[in-house]
């Protein structure tokens, strides 16, 4: 699981627990400069550091648990990391789930997710975005656009039509550009950016879609048959 900027992996616990309930091994880490990881807050020398760390984490887990199919799940900036990770090893992963991935950026605006919980979480970075980090995000958008045609793995893409952080047009660009034969897009009309912490009807649907999609693809990955 790769997540967005400012956040830490603990904010994805409910989603992780749902996947654990499917008898899956779920792992995640805080990016450099985020959460409990080392490094200056919201500073990275190159966006590829996030991709490198994701690949290293995958390698460690596969060494300890060989033979298991590996799926990526990414939200927002974590979606960009997941896309670049998959593009770097085209045949390595069995599938990918993307929630509001950073493909095209939009001006930042408030959303309806649980603001009180967000504001009281001590591991979330609330400092203004530094110019150097903003430049790396712009670089990431450019890299993602170039990487899209390299994607051949199955993926599920969930996007809110009212997302003001990651432009929903990016979801359509991803669907058009990726070479994957098994690709699914679900648009949530009127929903914003953090779909897994949205209004209950949205979040419940998001969890259901992920659960069904992952269940079918993990079964297919184990048997070698199409979902």
The residues annotated with a catalytic role in the active site are 76, 163, 193
SS3 for 158?
Answer: strand
**C-alpha–C-alpha distance, residues 57 and 218, integer Å:** 20
54 in Cβ contact with 85 (< 8 Å): yes
DSSP class of residue 8 equals -
108 in Cβ contact with 137 (< 8 Å): no
Token reading at 32: 């450099």
27 in Cβ contact with 1 (< 8 Å): yes
Among 70, 112, 114, 59, residue whose Cα is nearest residue 95: 70
89 in Cβ contact with 148 (< 8 Å): no
**C-alpha–C-alpha distance, residues 79 and 6, integer Å:** 14
Instruction: For residue 188, list its beta bridge partners.
Output: 160
**C-alpha–C-alpha distance, residues 84 and 156, integer Å:** 16
Encode 144-160: b = buried (16+ Cβ within 10 Å), e = exposed.
bbebbebbbbbbbbbbb
């Amino acid at each position: 699981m790769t997540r967005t900027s400012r956040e830490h992996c603990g904010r994805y616990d409910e989603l992780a627990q749902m996947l654990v309930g499917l008898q899956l091994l779920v792992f995640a880490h805080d990016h450099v400069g985020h959460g409990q990881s080392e490094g200056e807050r919201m500073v990275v020398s190159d966006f590829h550091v996030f991709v490198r760390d994701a690949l290293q984490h995958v390698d460690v887990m596969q060494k300890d648990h060989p033979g298991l199919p590996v799926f990526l799940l990414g939200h927002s900036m974590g979606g960009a990391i997941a896309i670049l990770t998959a593009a770097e090893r085209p045949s390595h992963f069995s599938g990918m789930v993307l929630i509001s991935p950073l493909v095209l950026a939009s001006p930042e605006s408030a959303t309806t997710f649980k603001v009180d919980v967000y504001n009281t979480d001590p591991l979330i970075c609330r400092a203004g975005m530094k110019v150097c980090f903003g430049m790396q995000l712009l670089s990431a958008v450019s890299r993602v656009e170039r990487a899209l045609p390299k994607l051949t793995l199955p993926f599920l893409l969930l996007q809110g039509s009212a997302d003001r952080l990651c432009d929903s047009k990016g979801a359509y660009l991803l669907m058009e550009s990726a070479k994957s034969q098994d690709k699914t897009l679900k648009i949530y009309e009127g929903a914003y950016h953090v779909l897994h912490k949205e209004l209950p009807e949205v979040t419940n649907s998001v969890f259901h879609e992920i659960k069904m999609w992952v269940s079918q693809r993990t079964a297919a990955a184990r048997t070698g048959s199409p979902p």
